[in-house]
Structure 1
Amino acid sequence: MTRLTTRIAVGIVAAAACATMLTGCLGQPSGGADGKTSLVAVNNGEIQRVTGAQNAGSQIAMAICEPLTGIEDDGSIFMRGAASVESKDQTTWTVKVAKGHTFSDGTKIDAKTYVDTFDFVANGANAMPSNFAYEQIQGYDELNPAEGEPTVTELSGLKLVDDDTFTLTMKSPNNDVPYLLSMLSFCPMPESAFKDPVAYDKKPIGNGVYTLKSLDPQVEAVLTKDPGYKGWVPKGAADTLTFRVYTDTNTAYQDVVAGNADVLRSLPPGLIAQGRNALGKEGLTAIDRNTLQTYIAWPTYLDATYPVEVRQAFSMIVNRESISKDLFKGATLPATSLMPNSVSAYREGACGEYCTYDPDAAKALLAKAGFTGSIPLNYASSSTTDAATALAISNSAKEIGLDVEPKPVPAATLSDTINKYGLDGPSIQLWGSSFPRASEWIASIFVDANYRLKYDNPGAADQVKQALASGDEKQADALWQKAEDAVLADQVLQPLYQQVMYIAHTKCVTPHAAGGDMQIYRTEVTCSQ
């Protein structure tokens, strides 16, 4: 799970005009005389690196990487680089690698490829950006000591069985391992990459549907289908895929409207109303499963200042329906659960009365607590969405005589303050998931490095462990829901709204998602010139 407020802000102005491009300039993907199709996608921000998660090159990485597993539109798992991923105890997992798969340079991929890759990335001394994803594997702590260099070079929980098989042992039972292995962090690397991972990061040798043909970090990346690839290919995938760099979302949007680009992932809320008018139903698609959610976070070191009655009152003066309908014009949906609707454990209304707008009840709770002070509401000053949210909450609070003071803070400063446990009041936080599972939303609350809440609830934490260890989906969901109820009762996190992901696109393409997260390389070309 990722706290998105700490990400480097994506940039703002178009790097290339349609006149300089060979494709995508006539309102539809172009088709050559040979019948091959090409697609131009917006890439938000300079492509400083390609491999690993959480960077401006991530969408490119998805196109050139075949992970061990994949995620369907509905959130279910299917096998890709793996033939099977199985476990009897949810702790030790046996992975059988699919036969005959290679990197784009023809290098063979086998079980040893994955073992070598995992050992290299998990080793803190190599400073790989995806290192964080290996934390749950047995032996990670020894490879990432708090002080000094590691004295070992291999994960103790990783064993090569034979050419086609390896085992992965987790620190504790975890039924989400098949989902973990779908992440970019677990993409295989050829042996040549270990010699110079920095250079490899800029021009990786992939094993996926596409191969990286060329890259100009400030202009574009051009990808072509790999003719030697033997794995799963999305229906209608373009033969050539160009990621054009934009540093201004408004410019990117206007280019899609004009037909100068074909796909813009995640249209900002402020542009959705325009998009409905300019693109209509054929050019604006909403992903019906959500992976982004905004919360009010209350670190527990502020409990003495803001007791539970104050936190409950705060939540009840937030008019979630009005914020989504009137402020954001349907670009968000009111959140009444700590989980979005992309996970199977989701329940609408889980938050109950405390996520229901009720100013009279809020006023009574404040009187019960004897609270007469003001509440600073911290948010990243670069976020216009957070600014509008904070102002709406402040105005609503005034109606019952409560002073909620919007407090814009530079994103880097806010992140540093959160990490150092220095907040003077609640903060607005946007979170996104790596895969559609309840653990991304509930288990993460108990990892202090995420929200920095200093939150402890032994009963709920035990339910999380039981949920992760369960091999039964329904039983696991019931445990996740019990843990969610406990967290909601403590009011350390208050759901505000889910962000609806809208895709702006030309009429000849159909966007597709993986469990609620749009992946550009899965875009289906439905017609050509």
Structure 2
Amino acid sequence: MNRMRSRLAVGIVAAAATTTLLTGCLGQPAGGTADGETSLVAVNNGEIGRITGAQNPGSQIAMALCEPLTGIEEDGTVFMRGAESVESEDQITWTVTVADGHTFSDGTEITAQTYVDTFNFVGAGANAMPSNYAYGPIKGYDELNPAEGEPTATEFSGITLIDESTFTIEMKSPNNDVPYILSQLAFCPMPESAFADPIAYDKKPIGNGVYTLEKLDPQVEAVLKKDPDYQGWVPDGAADEITFRVYTDTNTAYQDVVAGNADVLRSLPPGLIAQGRNALGEEGLTAIDRNTLQTYFTWPTYLDATFPIEVRQAFSMIVDRASISTDLFKDATVPAPSLMPNSVSAFREDACGQYCTFDPDAAKDLIAKSGFTGTIPLNYSSENTTDAATALAVSNSAKEIGLTVEPKPVPAAALSETINSYALDGPVIQLWGSSFPAPSEWVASVYVDANYRLQYEDPEGQALVAQALAAATPEEADELWQQAEDRILADQVIQPLYQQVMYIAHTACMTPHAAGGDMQIYRTEVTCS
């Protein structure tokens, strides 16, 4: 399954209060340049070590430089970008027709051969490309990336060039997520010149997207300009120039947005949201209405004998999710009623049912029924103040019914090692984020042991996942995803806690936009001239 590994939740960043109020456009950088073109300065969180590939400080830059085969609308649906069509009759073999007239920024024509060459290069483990993992579902990946020994192939057996504008992708098994998968940075085309020296290419890639990279100082900034020759989709109100300014401290970045020295800060930490409301007002703080980050309690199955299902059910029912989101985190989170966030089509408001409902009396009865009299250690990253606050709230709630929940902070590296070694002594707080807004990212991921290390197996649930991935229509697929979700929730191996609301801090001349809940800076609409 194409997944990034699970990540521990981001912490709250403390910041000094500020009283500055933005009441209108502040001139440059908020929307204007000396020659009348529009511009914006965006916060880049961390040094720009590389640009291509996903999940690195250069990812937001890469999105502006790349036109993938498909794109994601704000509502999470797929639309065609570099592809004219992506179609399949059996969900296994997908035919991709490449759109005519699209080129790299250096004028090199993009054809089906371009994508075939790129996929074979990135998918070959010997080339050590950071996005290699995303090609795992394609037939022939294992031969290119053997667990042991040398590769037995040099190209994907599942990728076939048909003609100048057409190629096919054969998956290992039916997978109707392919249109979503092809929207990822991992599948951005590369010109032939990149293969000879991918490291150099990573410093100044020749893209095929809305923008070109004009300047890169990894510790200071990257400057992008709109490509006048680009023939594809351009976001409404896209700036003519974007400067990604490097910040290593979120508080400093936030203060610069408040002062008008920077225009967009993506994903404001929870600890700054209340201040942002006061400092920036309604025109300068935008909540993305679809969520892509969700926090859970996870219970590896090797703990079942210690904590029987009644204990796990009771634990979930003493968690006051509404109070945690409203009172503790000031609406920076919303209670999670499902394994899936609201950005996914199969999301249901009541999927978790009674066990995600705060009910101390019912929880007390369940504990009595189980006969449990011990302590529940609640593991979390000691570097994470958000998780610390959550663990304390749960511990205090447990005391009300005579249950002992002991918050257990563990250094992040040690906690990761404990999880990976199947050595937890109790539940752990974990964060999950999606690569694209599809149910598979949230339901199928639970069955992939490398993600949560739950050692969880359910043949009937896994069969439902396979059926969902092979379903002919989205409606049929969603029903199957929900059935699989019901089985996982019934087994109480993973319990939804809350979805993290992404808040964007920005100057008044900027309107942020997202792709299915994932805010992408280059899609920011400049509303002042």
What is aligned with 1:469? Answer: 470
What is aligned with 1:158? Answer: 159
Aligned counterparts of 2:484 and 2:302: Cα–Cα separation in 1: 21
- Report the count of equivalent residues: 518
Aligned counterparts of 1:61 and 1:369: Cα–Cα separation in 2: 53
Deviations 1:200-232 (A, max 9, x none): 122211110011111111111111111221111
What is aligned with 1:176? Answer: 177
Give the C-alpha shift of residue 34 in structure 1: 3.2
SS in 1 for 2:342: coil
CA contact (8 A) 1:25 1:261 kept: no
What is aligned with 1:508? Answer: 509
Give the C-alpha shift of residue 4 in structure 1: 4.8
Give the C-alpha shift of residue 5 in structure 1: 2.5
Deviations 1:152-205 (A, max 9, x none): 111110000011000000011111100000000100111111112122122211
CA contact (8 A) 1:310 1:366 kept: yes
Aligned counterparts of 1:44 and 1:192: Cα–Cα separation in 2: 30
Deviations 1:262-313 (A, max 9, x none): 0011111111111111111100111111111000011111111111111101
What is aligned with 1:5? Answer: 7
CA contact (8 A) 1:12 1:45 kept: no
Deviations 1:479-516 (A, max 9, x none): 01000000000000000000111111000010000001
Deviations 1:361-386 (A, max 9, x none): 11111111111111111111221111
Paired letter, 1:499: Q
What is aligned with 1:250? Answer: 251
Larger CA deviation: 510-519 vs 375-384: 375-384
Give the C-alpha shift of residue 523 in structure 1: 0.2
What is aligned with 2:19? Answer: none
1:16-415 maps to which residues of 2 (within 5 A)?
26=27, 29-415=30-416
Paired letter, 1:145: P
Aligned counterparts of 1:10 and 1:400: Cα–Cα separation in 2: 29
Deviations 1:74-107 (A, max 9, x none): 1111110001000011110000001111111111
CA contact (8 A) 1:11 1:44 kept: no
Aligned counterparts of 2:357 and 2:312: Cα–Cα separation in 1: 13
Aligned counterparts of 1:230 and 1:42: Cα–Cα separation in 2: 28
CA contact (8 A) 1:12 1:248 kept: no
Aligned counterparts of 1:280 and 1:9: Cα–Cα separation in 2: 24
Larger CA deviation: 202-211 vs 28-37: 28-37
CA contact (8 A) 1:27 1:507 kept: no
SS in 2 for 1:160: strand
CA contact (8 A) 2:391 2:407 kept: yes
CA contact (8 A) 1:53 1:184 kept: yes
Paired letter, 1:191: E
Aligned counterparts of 1:4 and 1:519: Cα–Cα separation in 2: 21
The alignment's TM-score, normalised by the length of structure 2, stands at: 0.95
Distance 1:4 1:266, change over 3 A: farther
Paired letter, 2:226: K
What is aligned with 1:424? Answer: 425
Aligned counterparts of 2:234 and 2:511: Cα–Cα separation in 1: 15
Distance 1:8 1:119, change over 3 A: farther
Aligned counterparts of 1:99 and 1:12: Cα–Cα separation in 2: 50
Paired letter, 1:348: E
Unaligned runs of 5+ in 1: 14-23
CA contact (8 A) 1:309 1:365 kept: yes
CA contact (8 A) 1:10 1:44 kept: no
Q: Hey, which bits of structure 1, 4+ residues long, moved more than 3 A?
A: 1-4, 6-13, 24-28
Give the C-alpha shift of residue 462 in structure 1: 0.5
Unaligned runs of 5+ in 2: 16-24
CA contact (8 A) 1:157 1:168 kept: yes
Paired letter, 2:41: V
Aligned counterparts of 2:478 and 2:500: Cα–Cα separation in 1: 23
Give the C-alpha shift of residue 247 in structure 1: 1.0
CA contact (8 A) 1:26 1:260 kept: no
CA contact (8 A) 2:6 2:451 kept: no
Paired letter, 1:91: I
CA contact (8 A) 1:46 1:245 kept: yes
SS in 2 for 1:31: coil
SS in 2 for 1:392: helix
What is aligned with 1:519? Answer: 520
Aligned counterparts of 2:237 and 2:284: Cα–Cα separation in 1: 17
Give % identity: 77
Aligned counterparts of 1:227 and 1:11: Cα–Cα separation in 2: 40
SS in 2 for 1:198: helix
Paired letter, 2:148: E
Aligned counterparts of 1:103 and 1:227: Cα–Cα separation in 2: 12
Give the C-alpha shift of residue 429 in structure 1: 0.6
CA contact (8 A) 1:125 1:149 kept: no
